[in-house]
Structure 1
Amino acid sequence: MATVETDKAQEAREAQENEVLILDMLDRFLKTEVKPYVHALEAADEYPHEIVEKMKDMGLFGCLIAPEYGGLGLSTSTYAKIIDRMSAVWMSVSGIINSHVIMAMTLQRNGTDEQKREFLPRMATGELRGGIGLTEPDCGTDLQAIRTTARREGDEYVVNGNKTWITNSLYGNTLALLVKTDPKAEPRHRGMSLLLIEKGPGFEVSRKLPKLGYKGIDTCELSFTDFRVPVSRLIGGVEGRGLKQILSGLELGRINVAARGVGIAQAALDEAVSYSQQRKTFGKPICEHQAIALKLGEMATRVQAARLLTDAAARAYDRGERCDMEAGMAKYFATEAGLENSIEAMRIHGAYGYSKEFNVERLYRDAPLLTIGEGTNELQRIIIAKQLIERNPV
């Protein structure tokens, strides 16, 4: 018993040391390779090709993929810290990682051995890079209402339909695509399957969507017209499991979005703390005025609470536990914290916060997306309540 405990303690120390090294490397990368270019790239809504190539070299696209498939095999807790720090510098960069990682982990958790051996090593290097194709023009939160179909013809599926708000779909090359393999099935989820697809004839990127914030990243509308996919690309090899497979991936997605909320909240706090010590009114820095001090105190508390909730959800995911409630709590609270802190930072900056010369204006535009994406915050509260009742029956 003592030997086992010693081994576990050693593993924990090594994991902690590895996390410190990775986060230090990431901080240097963000400081030198991302931060100096954010303002220009964001203003031009330009995809950060050079930054993405450097992220490939760092192995970030394989951060959660198991080492046996060429990935880093990091914990979800470490991954959340990576996304937190990325988002504090530029949230769009974290989005490029997030959708890809959800796709990869959905395959790692649900794919056949052959599928994992064939695709995960290429996903780990970023050779295959993409995301998940879920949302449709008439279907957002209610995924069972999707209309994209995959009709089997021999050894292929023929896909027809449309998707929208799909991240990594213009410059990426691979998607985990949610389709109806049996449109008449009841309940509807029994007719839903997940296909791992690569771009080819019949797959068209219709347009890149203009957005209020979250600039630089490719968010697009897609159309599929008699697009053919080998039957071997059916994730897990059995039809009708697609919704269950992708919902487990969305738990990870919500932890990611929560971490982004933490990063936005932290960045807004940092900007407010710095500016409030430089700006003076009535003969003293505005941080010494009680009205500003109250705002700073609330902002700092939101950041810490959001970070703790996100870490708790990440650790539950790492333990293999069902964590839709924990991920929902983290996503709801942390993204609201990001939104509230961005507004408060703008108020503290006054007119300067409304100027495109300051980072606060970008944080203010990026933050609202987090309360909508990966399941609206209204939906998260419903999930939390349902799980609360289920876990505490009378």
Structure 2
Amino acid sequence: MDVLNLPRPSWMTEDLVLLEDQARRFMAAEYAPNIERWNEAGIYHREVWNTTGEAGLLCAAMPEKYGGAGGTFAHEAVINREFALCGFDSFGAPLHSGIVAPYILHYGTEDQKQRWLPKMASGEMVGAIAMTEPGTGSDLQGVRTSAKKSGNGYVLNGSKIFITNGQHADLILVVAKTDPSAGAKGVSLFVVETADAGGFRRGRKLKKLGLDSSDTSELFFEDVKLPAESLLGTQEGQGFVQLMQELPQERLIVGIHAVSMMERALRLTIDYVKERQAFGKKIIDFQNTQFVLAECKTEATAAKVFLDHCIERHVKGELDTVTASMIKYWTTDVQAKVIDRCLQLFGGYGYMDEYPISRMYRDARVLRIYAGTNEIMKLLIARSL
């Protein structure tokens, strides 16, 4: 039973209910038994992508003619929720399917769509997006990576950091300057196929506070020669506009992750306090426990209702940047509080790594940082006042 006991949201159609059940069964069989092993190894196997693609759980919102399932963002939302509910928070599929693939679909040429999207849907190619650079953080206009014209193509130079899917990626969407003197209008997006990119080098897999098996990496581009068709679309200088148009969906994806992690934390904690005893009675029988869980359930419920509202608006094409910033900042802030209070109810066991709540506490922290820090979200919201 759903721990929040909410009615099915209006955007959740019958086919999405079937998808939810399919995804849940698949993840219970394929992911759940291996998550701890992958976390201990520090990376999940490359084959996970192929298996997930075979199950139809990659690029679900891409049109069928490009290898996708022909769904909408609602299909991605259902799948992403199941990733978090099963505890596979480190898997980069939400970025691959919900962020990288839409850039190609919305801005790529027909040839680019036919070339890359079917391979992304099958898991043959893993996608990443390389925005962040050392020293720039959320300042996308300040990128130093350059793509200079050379003959009929370009030469790419620069470095990127904190890149999800960096070790596995076969296709990397790179943010680069084609005209350093033009500010935001000088930013372009390039698609780099790593197998054929001489001068491309993967740096170390970065050791992080959480998301242990996520292959977050440094990437280096040293005189990488790119053909003209590596430019996403047909016109230089469109990169910043493209980024701004796609960021609301990226932030909504983060909101889905945050709310789903809250749901899982609440479910795990309720199960624990109903079994664990102290001072001669179950932890759930203490009034403090009841009050804490009442607060957590209320806050998680409010977050889920807000999230469902945003998903419905986005499916209709009505989610604006300000509201997307609100859902990202607020749900990740609430998530941190809920998981912290849930961990406290586990007592000393909550601090032990073998208990999932401990890992969730660490994994949750980055959600307030990536896809634009929560401070940047507040700035964007403030501009609407």
Please give the range of the TM-score, normalised by the shorter of the 2 chains.
over 0.9
**2:346 aligned residue (335, 349, 352):** 349
Equivalent AA in structure 1 for residue 255 of structure 2: A
* Contact 1:310-1:327 within 8 A present in 2 as well: no
- Secondary structure of the equivalent of 1:157? strand
C-alpha distance in 2 between matches for 1:371 and 1:72? 31
C-alpha spacing 1:71/1:178, structure 2 compared with 1 (3 Å): same
* Contact 1:164-1:222 within 8 A present in 2 as well: yes
Trace 1:271-350 onto structure 2 (pairs within 5 A): 271-350=268-347
Partner of residue 4, structure 2? none
C-alpha distance in 1 between matches for 2:118 and 2:41? 33
Equivalent AA in structure 1 for residue 342 of structure 2: A
Superposition deviation, residue 100 in structure 1: 4.4
- Residue 359 (structure 1) aligned with residue 356 (structure 2): yes
Superposition deviation, residue 269 in structure 1: 0.5
Partner of residue 46, structure 2? 49
Superposition deviation, residue 266 in structure 1: 1.0
Trace 1:138-287 onto structure 2 (pairs within 5 A): 138-185=135-182, 188-199=183-194, 200-287=197-284
Partner of residue 8, structure 1? none
Q: Deviations over 1:123-157 (max 9, x none)?
A: 22222221111000011111100000000112111
* Contact 2:313-2:319 within 8 A present in 1 as well: yes
Between 1:280-289 and 1:136-145, the stretch displaced more is: 280-289
Superposition deviation, residue 13 in structure 1: 11
* Contact 1:151-1:181 within 8 A present in 2 as well: yes
Identical positions, percent: 34
| Moved segments of 4+, more than 4 Å | 12-15
Superposition deviation, residue 310 in structure 1: 2.1
Partner of residue 123, structure 1? 120
C-alpha distance in 2 between matches for 1:282 and 1:146? 58
* Contact 1:87-1:94 within 8 A present in 2 as well: no
C-alpha distance in 1 between matches for 2:377 and 2:11? 35
Between 1:52-61 and 1:157-166, the stretch displaced more is: 52-61
For structure 1, the residue ranges without an aligned partner over 5 or more in a row are: 1-11, 390-394
Q: Deviations over 1:204-239 (max 9, x none)?
A: 001110011111121100111100111112112111
Superposition deviation, residue 263 in structure 1: 1.7
Aligned-pair Cα RMSD in Å: 1.9
Partner of residue 7, structure 1? none
Equivalent AA in structure 1 for residue 361 of structure 2: Y
**1:110 aligned residue (107, 110, 117):** 107
* Contact 1:99-1:167 within 8 A present in 2 as well: no
C-alpha distance in 1 between matches for 2:90 and 2:17? 21
C-alpha spacing 1:246/1:325, structure 2 compared with 1 (3 Å): same
Q: Deviations over 1:301-350 (max 9, x none)?
A: 22222222222222222222352122211111221222112211110000
* Contact 1:309-1:329 within 8 A present in 2 as well: no
C-alpha distance in 1 between matches for 2:311 and 2:191? 26
TM-score when scaled to structure 2?
0.93
C-alpha distance in 1 between matches for 2:44 and 2:73? 26
Partner of residue 83, structure 2? 86
Q: Deviations over 1:263-321 (max 9, x none)?
A: 21111101110111111223322112111111111111222222222222222222223
Partner of residue 9, structure 1? none
Between 1:304-313 and 1:216-225, the stretch displaced more is: 304-313
Equivalent AA in structure 1 for residue 162 of structure 2: W
C-alpha distance in 2 between matches for 1:85 and 1:21? 13
C-alpha distance in 1 between matches for 2:345 and 2:319? 40
* Contact 2:173-2:189 within 8 A present in 1 as well: yes
C-alpha spacing 1:258/1:226, structure 2 compared with 1 (3 Å): same
**1:74 aligned residue (71, 77, 80):** 71
Q: Deviations over 1:39-70 (max 9, x none)?
A: 22212213233433221111222212112212
* Contact 2:174-2:189 within 8 A present in 1 as well: yes
Partner of residue 16, structure 1? 13
C-alpha distance in 2 between matches for 1:25 and 1:196? 32
Superposition deviation, residue 80 in structure 1: 1.7
C-alpha distance in 1 between matches for 2:109 and 2:201? 28
* Contact 2:32-2:87 within 8 A present in 1 as well: yes
Equivalent AA in structure 2 for residue 16 of structure 1: T
* Contact 2:343-2:351 within 8 A present in 1 as well: yes
Between 1:332-341 and 1:237-246, the stretch displaced more is: 332-341
Superposition deviation, residue 247 in structure 1: 2.2
Partner of residue 392, structure 1? none
C-alpha distance in 1 between matches for 2:65 and 2:161? 34
C-alpha distance in 1 between matches for 2:320 and 2:45? 33
